[in-house]
Amino acid sequence: MSEERAQDGEAVVRAVEAVAERIETERAHLTDLDSAIGDADHGGNMARGWAAAAEAARELDDPDPQTVCKTVGKTLMAEVGGASGPLFGGSLVFASADLDDGVTAESAVAFAETYLQKVEDRGDARVGDQTMVDALTPAVHTFKKSIETDDLAPLEALAKAVDAAERGVAFTVPIRARKGRASYLGWRSVGHQDPGATSTLFILEEVLATAADALGTDVPDVDATSPTIPDADGDSVEGDGADPAAEDDD
Amino acid sequence: MVGLVVVSHSERAAEGIVEVAAEMAGDTRLEAVGGDGKGGIGTVPDAIGDAIDAADDGDGVVVLVDLGSAVMNADVAVELSDAEAVIADAPVLEGAVNAAVAATDPSATLDSVREQAEAARGMEKL
């Protein structure tokens, strides 16, 4: 294993530790959010799962990024005991395949897209269902666009993605839940912030903070909005999020 | 013979449902699995996988599930299992009873048992 990949792996372990610490700190908060519209187990399940995941990651002999992600995912699946196991853990195991050659801007985009796809498939949820997909989708789209179209530095792209996730979390408040336990409440779910979207944001915030720390720099002060007017000919992003302006050119 | 696994957030609920279904099940293998593995409410994929293995005698397994995470964790367990297993899109108790009866049919297949479990969706009670 290259020295660079070993350093990246150690940074991923530190990110997992930071997430575990953050989730433990936010445990009561997450449980409160889940008590309002769900089964009040999100804080406890996530705290237990991430604590075990951090321990498993720390015990790895030669942690490379892919192995750390896979180990964390498997541990979450085994320890969480709720929907967060397959959603956070299963998706992590699946997406870790994209880190075969380590963490690059390109592989990070692929990882993010695979992770989102797996969460959507497993939970059968789309944007607007008041789930973690509402935080993940803007984060992944913003990250991909920032890297592939705007050619931003990965840390800046990640900072924009975190701001996008924050907006997604806010979006879960005024909409009706269509998936998950909250959907049983029907219209009474309106006005409540989704716990899974919230913990997704916490995870992304810790990954960003750890990445900035690993690069020896501060977290960039950016937001998800783009100051530039899109160039109709500049449709270099493939896949979802088709640019209607580009189609009009045909 | 097609085997059955009942997955609930509550281990006691899963066991109770198996108890009810077993009355009609003849020699069918019925496995109950539930709980977070630590005495609490929840579901865990590994435990569901073990139950699938225990219920399988080579003819496959129909998995009955209750809510949300039970569906997703059963989905993971089915994906990882070597046994031929399918999740029935059915109410867990009524589906389990229907499936138990269907499994005792000498011509039963994995599909026929799953279909009978899913037929419980339209069951009228009044």
SS3 B3: strand
Chain B residues whose CB is inside 8 A of the A45 CB are 36, 42
Average pLDDT in the B39-62 region?
95
Is B67 within 8 Å of A181 when comparing Cβ atoms? yes
pLDDT at site A248: 46
Q: Could you tell me if A133 lies within 8 Å of chain B, comparing CB atoms?
A: no
- CB pairs A-B closer than 8 Å: 53
> HEC profile for B54-87?
HHCCCCCEEEEECCHHHHHHHHHHHHHCCCCEEE
Q: Which residues of B are catalytic?
A: 9
**Which helix (H) or strand (E) is B30 found in, with range?**
strand B30-34
> Among the residues of chain A, which ranges form H helices?
3-25, 27-37, 42-58, 65-79, 84, 91-95, 105-123, 133-148, 154-172, 195-214, 244-248
Q: How far apart are CA B110 and CA B32, in angstroms?
A: 19
Which residue positions in chain A have pLDDT lower than 50?
A: 244-250
pLDDT at site A238: 57
What are the structural domains, with CATH classification, of chain A? 3-220 (1.25.40.340)
Instruction: Please answer whether residues B55 and B30 qualify as being in contact, where contact means their C-beta atoms are separated by less than 8 angstroms.
Output: yes
Chain B residues whose CB is inside 8 A of the A181 CB are 67-68
Q: Which of A78-87, B7-16, B43-52 has the lowest mean pLDDT?
A: A78-87
Per-residue pLDDT tens over the stretch B76-99: 999 999 999 999 999 999 999 999
Of the pLDDT bands very low, low, confident and very high (cuts 50, 70, 90), residue B100 is very high
pLDDT at site A239: 57
Chain A residues whose CB is inside 8 A of the B35 CB are 81
Average pLDDT in chain B: 96
pTM summary value: 0.88
Nearest residue, CB atoms, B44 vs list A39, A41, A81: A81
Q: Which residues contact A34 (CB under 8 A, 6 or more apart)?
A: A40, A41, A42, A43, A195
Per-residue pLDDT tens over the stretch A171-197: 999 999 999 999 999 999 999 999 999
